[in-house]
């Protein structure tokens, strides 16, 4: 029995080269999955999956890693992905679930759920950075996949735009934190607001900096968020009020599960925030 020739993907082949190579090998529907908000200490974790059509219809002008795009470009490309994709799905994991289950577990589960929700069943899956187990189709984890594979880049735009819209809504509900500007990532302004106001219920209490200003700095970072007398009472004071601090402010590291903190990025530049490079 002859072994089929290896598929070679050139580094200079462009954003669509990997998908085209897989499609030539018989995998017509290639899905990409990515997330947004992993490094934030407030707001949800959002994962998305997308299957782009073969050929020219699947080529979206300006498509790139969402962290390299301006907000206006992301919105335009988001609309293009929604209009052109054979299938797409977005999953939102709230902050309290991130605290309860852990960041990495939620990240994998969210991408798995997004892929399972696709109306068009993928024949191959590409993910950004690390593999997702539990899938019944072959897959490949691609380093910086949102800069290498078009379907992963499309998923990154879907996740990023969805999460940014959520954070803008949360900025109106919880004024004073600047969620509409920094989108829940650690910046000097966010750190100052945390120290002044204490965390609100949209913060992730399993992160070191949030645990510190909430008076839980003597406990492990994975400590669960405080339980109240009711869904909107106890330490939170009300559904839209910050949590009352019970200890001295301090700490600026917005990390969980051993992830390393990164310097804040200016508004509109999410590369550093999401773990990329300038």
Q: Which two tokens stand for residue 237?
A: 């004071």
Which pair of tokens denotes residue 29? 């529907």
By DSSP bridging, strand 139-142 and strand 124-128 are parallel
CA distance linking residue 139 with residue 124, whole number of Å: 5
Helix axes 71-84, 150-173, angle to 10 degrees: 120
Rounded-to-integer distance, Cα 171 and Cα 278, Å: 26
Q: In what order do the strands lie in the sheet with 87-93?
A: 87-93, 45-51, 30-36, 124-128, 139-142
Please tell me whether 128 is known to bind a ligand: yes
Q: Is 270 annotated as a binding residue?
A: no
Strands 124-128 and 87-93 turn out to be unpaired
Burial per residue of 8-39, b for 16 or more beta-carbon CB atoms within 10 angstroms, e otherwise:
eeeeeeebbbbbbbbbeeebebbbbbbbbbbb
Which 8-state DSSP code applies to residue 42?
A: B
Q: Is 164 annotated as a binding residue?
A: no
Q: How far is CA 9 from CA 12, 42, 56, 148, in A?
A: 9, 38, 19, 11
3-state helix, strand and coil shares in percent for the chain, rounded to the nearest 5: 35, 10, 55
Burial 65-79 (b: 16+ CB within 10 A, else e): bbbbbeeeebebbbe
User: Residue 50 pairs with which residues in a beta bridge?
Assistant: 32, 88
**Binding site residue list for a divalent metal cation:** 34-35, 128
**Binding site residue list:** 34-35, 128
């Amino acid at each position: 029995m002859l072994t089929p020739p290896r598929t070679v993907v050139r580094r200079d082949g462009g954003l669509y080269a990997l998908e085209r190579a897989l499609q030539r090998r018989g995998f017509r529907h290639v899905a990409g999955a990515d997330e947004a908000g992993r490094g934030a200490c407030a707001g949800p974790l959002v994962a998305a999956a997308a299957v782009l059509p073969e050929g020219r219809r699947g080529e979206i002008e300006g498509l790139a890693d969402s962290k390299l795009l301006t907000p206006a470009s992301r919105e335009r490309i988001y609309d293009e992905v929604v209009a052109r994709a054979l299938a797409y799905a977005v999953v939102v994991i709230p902050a309290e679930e991130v605290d309860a289950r852990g960041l990495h577990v939620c990240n994998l589960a969210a991408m798995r759920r997004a892929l399972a929700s696709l109306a068009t069943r993928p024949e191959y899956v590409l993910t950004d950075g690390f593999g997702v187990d539990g899938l019944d189709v072959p897959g490949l984890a691609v380093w910086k996949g949102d800069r290498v594979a078009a379907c992963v880049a499309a998923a990154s735009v879907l996740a990023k735009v969805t999460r940014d819209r959520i954070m803008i809504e949360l900025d109106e509900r919880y004024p004073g934190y600047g969620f509409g500007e920094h989108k829940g990532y650690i910046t000097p302004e966010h750190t100052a607001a945390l120290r002044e106001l204490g965390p609100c219920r949209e913060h992730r209490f399993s992160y070191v900096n949030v645990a510190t200003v909430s008076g839980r700095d003597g406990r492990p970072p994975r400590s669960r968020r405080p339980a109240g007398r009711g869904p909107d009472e106890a330490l939170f004071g009300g559904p839209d009020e910050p949590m009352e601090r019970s200890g001295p402010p301090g700490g600026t590291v917005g990390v969980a599960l051993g992830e390393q903190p990164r310097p804040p990025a200016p508004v509109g530049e999410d590369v550093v925030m999401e773990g990329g490079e300038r």
